[in-house]
Amino acid sequence: MRIMFIVDHPYGIESAADIPHRRSFTAAVAAAAIRGAERAGHEIDLVDLAADGFDPVMSRDDLVAWRLTSVVDPLVADYQRRLMLADHVVFAFPVWWESMPASTKGFLDRVLTKGIVFEEIAGAKGNPFRNLMTRLGGVTVLSVMTTPDKVYHWWFGDPLTKVVFRGTFGKIGVKDLRWVNFASITEKTDAERAALLLQTEERFAAMGSARRLRPLGFSSLGRRWRAGVLGAAAGGG
């Protein structure tokens, strides 16, 4: 299985190393997931948005091209090509102001071009969108936040899942949507963080070889989002 990891943090994936003032738990989580996926024998395609210098802003030329089913940015075209080859996509990012950083939102805006990544069916009854990423079986989000999980779920209403799942990939037609949330991360001890990273590595090492993820069940870390319903509550890590 080919897994496309999309990492969004200003420090980049290199900040997975535990160096004070240069470290990122988001990057550490992504690196742990990649290690696990590699152990399972999967092919890894890593996108580091910061290292790539990805511009999240939809420019005038971008929008004109989007309406004409085209792209003007070669980096966007490269991301689209790689999406078409992916069996599973994993986003890793910190949660700022209860949502994803600008680069992740810009990836959704600029890379998911109508007519290339999905198509709109005129006169359709129900969902008018059809997924053109024919290999893509699922999407996983790895999010890191300081907000307590219960507060994020009950008070804020899990906004990132509404954007990434219900409003984007679920709408396009991707069925297997998973969220692994690391909440209250600043309250965790070093030992607790190390345990979370190990759990993440083992989670991805348990992926099956089929194009779709083998069902892993629910854990204290994860939820499966399906048809607007979240499963077992994720724990604070």
pLDDT (tens digit, 9 = 90+) per residue, 8-57? 999 999 889 877 778 899 999 999 999 999 999 999 999 999 999 999 99
Residue 69: CB atoms within 10 Å: 11
AA letter at 29:
V
pLDDT of res. 234: 29
Closest-CA residue to 177 (of 106, 89, 75, 53): 89
Closest-CA residue to 177 (of 132, 227, 235, 106): 227
Instruction: Give per-residue pLDDT as tens, 222-234.
Output: 454 433 333 222 2
Per-residue tokens: 81: 């090509």
AA letter at 160:
L
* Domains delineated in the chain: 2-230 (3.40.50.360)
AA letter at 51:
A
Residue with tokens 């997931």: 33
Residue 195: CB atoms within 10 Å: 13
pLDDT of res. 236: 27
HSE value, Cβ hemisphere, 13 Å, CA-based, for 134: 0
Are the C-beta atoms of 213 and 205 separated by less than 8 Å? no
Q: What sign does the dihedral 225-230-233-237 (CA atoms) show?
A: positive
> Cα–Cα distances in Å, from 91 out to 44, 63, 105, 121?
13, 24, 11, 27
Residue 208 is classified by DSSP as -
Instruction: Give per-residue pLDDT as tens, 104-135.
Output: 999 999 999 999 999 988 887 778 899 999 99
pTM above 0.95, yes or no: no
- Confidence label for 195 from pLDDT (cuts 50, 70 and 90): very high
How far apart CA 127 and CA 167 sit, in angstroms, is: 12
pLDDT of res. 209: 56
- Confidence label for 58 from pLDDT (cuts 50, 70 and 90): very high
Q: Is the pLDDT of residue 86 over 90?
A: yes
pLDDT of res. 198: 96
Closest-CA residue to 234 (of 142, 168, 171, 103): 142
pLDDT of res. 213: 40
- Phi, psi of 26, deg, nearest 5: -60, -50
